[in-house]
Amino acid sequence: MNEMNPKPPIYHEKQVKELCALHALNNLFQMRGTYTKSELDGICSRLSPNVWINPHRSLLGLGNYDINVIMAALQKKGCEAIWFDKRKDPGCLNLSHICGFILNVPSDYKLGFVMLPLRRRHWITIRQIGGSFYNLDSKLDAPQLIGRSSELIAYLKEQLESKEKELFVIVSREVEEKQLWLHQTQNVHIKQQTQNSPNTQSSQQQESIQNSNSPSDSISSFSTYDYNNRDAECVKLAEVRNCV
Q: Do 151 and 135 touch, CB atoms closer than 8 A?
A: no
Tell me the CA distances in angstroms from 152 to 47, 101, 135, 218, one per residue in order. 34, 11, 10, 26
Active site residue 92: no
From 12, 20, 44, 234, the catalytic residue: 20
| Residue 42, beta-bridge partner list | none
Which residue in 216, 215, 236, 220 sits closest to 75, CA to CA?
A: 236
Pairing of strands 114-129, 100-111: antiparallel
- Among 79, 92, 122, 234, the active-site one is 122
| Cα–Cα distance measured from residue 75 to residue 20, given in angstroms and rounded to the nearest whole number | 19
Three-state secondary structure along 25-54? Answer: HHHHHCCCCCCCHHHHHHHHHHHCCCCCCC
Q: Does residue 122 carry a catalytic annotation? A: yes
Positions marked catalytic: 20, 122
